[in-house]
Amino acid sequence: MRIRFNVVIAVFAVSLAFYSGIVQGEQKGKPVYGRTDPAHYTGVSNAHGGAGTLPFMELLGHKTFDTNILFVHRAEIPPKCGIGEHIHRDMEEMYLIFNGTAQFTVNGRTAELPAGSMVLCPKGSSHGIYNHTDETLQWLNLAVSMEKGNGTAIDYGDDLSGATVESPAPFRWAQLDRSLLKPAAHAHGGKGSILFRRVWANDSFQTNWEFIDHCVLPPDTSIGYHQHNAIEEVYYLVSGTGQMTVNNQTWDVRAGDAIPCTLHDSHGLYNSSSEDIVLVVFSCGSRGKGIYDVNNWGDDLSKR
């Protein structure tokens, strides 16, 4: 019999309080963003009953947002470690690994998935992840709650180290696959043509989660300066460097940065480097599904 116990969370378990050591501008007049920095990781042991200890940091928390975005987490999953099987009835998540392979579990069924895999953990579905390899995995976790700032979990007491692996995966997953991207010219009035794919749209979610996009910005291209009045977005740079502009503040950003674009913020991203930017964008709505209320300001940001 599985042992279940309630855990009031905004992260993994009772032992995991939100980590506040975010490398970000917090004072008025400075840009606000989360920067991945292993020097600021804290060790989280037995996350949701999982094996081992995970180096972890919170990049962005719910207080940054006006919508129901709950958190953006960045962590490592060392060999033979993981997040135990658990369930949320009032929030949904996405797990993303950047390197190596991992064993993902959804509703008690497990599959081994490759680098760049994203797995949806729907509201009311049990889930977890285990690193069965000898390579440390780089991991990103996103969540949206039904009620702003609140999420609960029930842990199943299974660290998933002995899970039976199936193939193909019996649950929804996707991969950061450049071959699936399509050209998108002058995105929001931006410069040149970026590559774009909407991985999941709002019909994939039970909360106000709107979409998850995968984008590539070649050198000297941009997502133009624009404003959303009904959704909030997070830009997460998987790789590359560039210049982010939010509310007329422009600064250098790099791989591992998570930039919040909150309600009514004007924002955009320019690739000022000689290498591609690989970008994941996710969004949460404030007025109902499919309502964006967007203004494009006619600035490709290349002259900032």
Distance CA 66, CA 231 (A): 9
> Containing H/E element for 201?
none
Q: Which residue has the tokens 């989660």?
A: 209
Tens-place pLDDT, residues 37-58? 999 999 999 999 999 999 999 9
Tens-place pLDDT, residues 123-151? 999 999 999 999 999 999 999 999 999 99
Assess whether pLDDT exceeds 60 at residue 23.
no
Distance CA 102, CA 7 (A): 25
Q: Which residue has the tokens 């910005």?
A: 217
Instruction: Single out the residue of 274, 262, 151 nearest to residue 218, CA to CA.
Output: 274
End-to-end Cα distance, the chain: 60
Domains of the chain: 5-175 (2.60.120.10), 178-296 (2.60.120.10)
No. of H helices and E strands in the chain?
0, 26
Assess whether pLDDT exceeds 70 at residue 179.
yes
Determine the Cα angle at 299 with ends 296 and 302, to 5°. Answer: 140
Assess whether pLDDT exceeds 50 at residue 211.
yes
Mean pLDDT of all residues in the chain? 92
- Residue with the larger pLDDT of the pair 223 and 5: 223
Q: SS3 for 231?
A: strand
Mean pLDDT throughout 172-196? 98
DSSP state of 19: P
Mean pLDDT throughout 71-97? 98
Mean pLDDT throughout 164-182? 97
Q: What global pTM score does this model have? A: 0.91
